[in-house]
Structure 1
Amino acid sequence: MLYEDLTAYDYQDEDAFTDRESGLCALWYRPAYSRLNIGWLEAGKPYSTGAVPAVFVEKLKAVQEVQWMNVCLGLHTCDLCPGEEAPEGNGEVRIPGEPGVAYAAPFLITHYITAHGYRPPQVFIDAVLAVDLAAWACARWPDVPFPWVPQDAERVLE
């Protein structure tokens, strides 16, 4: 699933969060913000490479521990990895950027960075570093770890 970095995300019309603890509760809404693709890589297609700060990688991993976004039933296997040991992912990550912009990345983004040397655009790195991880980590259902969820989001509570 190749999407060029910083192009408009159009894979799904709505954004949906699932409660990580129950796996049953969910909320979804049509975003009022623009979503930009980050890190949607495909074997055989070029992508940006280079070093990234270790603190960025650790913070991105921590975000992925608390945010469960657009989880799908099927799995996407990293096609950059040879053989059968390739990791799988089935969701996405949302990182708020400048006002009105959120970055949409596949859950495998951390793997792409650490195993394949992918270097996301600097604006994404800066946005991840700006996340208030303490606030996101303490969010408990029905609150979710993302600041731009509208009050009228549809919620499934059980």
Structure 2
Amino acid sequence: MFFEDLSAYTYQDEDTFEDSESFRALWYRPEYVRLNVGWLEAGRPYPTGPVPAGFAERLRGVQRVQRMNVCLGVHACDLCPGAEAPEGNGELRIPGEAGIAYAAPFLITHYVTAHGYRPPRAFVDAVLAVDLDAWAAARWPDVPFPWVPADAERLLE
């Protein structure tokens, strides 16, 4: 599935966060603009180059604590040859400037580390600005993302 970097995210109308320790979830229609980052596809060019030290590890940290728009099916990296391609089935949300959140596929860390993908600088800066300790400490009903509206619909179990 390919989307141009920094294009408007239109894949799903709602954002859904799942709790990693239970069957709880919350969903809502975002009040922020979502911009695509890192939706790569074989045969389509993408920017490559170095990323700042610590960037990939920060992305991995976000992936450990944020379960966003998890789907039942999986998407295999079609940039990898053969049957050993890693798979992803969700997304990440990274807050950017006021009113903007970046929407990235769960495979983005793989794209950076295995395929040399260089995300847009605004996304890199936003990832590096994430307070990973606060996100990792979030426990239900809080989720590791700051812009969840108070009226988000919640599945309590």
The TM tier, using the shorter chain, reads over 0.9
Match of 1:45 in 2: 44
1:101-140 deviations in Å (ceiling 9; x for gaps): 0000000000000000000000000000111111101000
Alpha-carbon separation, structure 1, partners of 2:144 and 2:25: 13
Alpha-carbon separation, structure 2, partners of 1:19 and 1:134: 17
For normalisation by structure 2, the TM-score amounts to 0.99
1:54 is paired with a residue whose SS is coil
Q: How does 1:37-76 map to 2 (within 5 A)?
A: 37-76=36-75
AA of the residue aligned to 1:16 = T
Alpha-carbon separation, structure 2, partners of 1:119 and 1:100: 23
Gaps of 5+ in 1: none
Matched, 1:88 2:87: yes
Alpha-carbon separation, structure 2, partners of 1:133 and 1:87: 24
Pairwise CA distance, 1:54: 2.7
1:67-97 deviations in Å (ceiling 9; x for gaps): 0000000000000000000000000000000
Match of 1:18 in 2: 18
1:111 is paired with a residue whose SS is helix
Alpha-carbon separation, structure 2, partners of 1:151 and 1:140: 16
For normalisation by structure 1, the TM-score amounts to 0.98
Q: How does 1:120-135 map to 2 (within 5 A)?
A: 120-135=119-134
Alpha-carbon separation, structure 1, partners of 2:146 and 2:116: 29
Aligned structure 1 segments of 4 or more residues deviating by more than 2 angstroms: none
Matched, 1:36 2:35: yes
Alpha-carbon separation, structure 2, partners of 1:29 and 1:54: 34
The number of equivalent residue pairs is: 157
Match of 1:109 in 2: 108
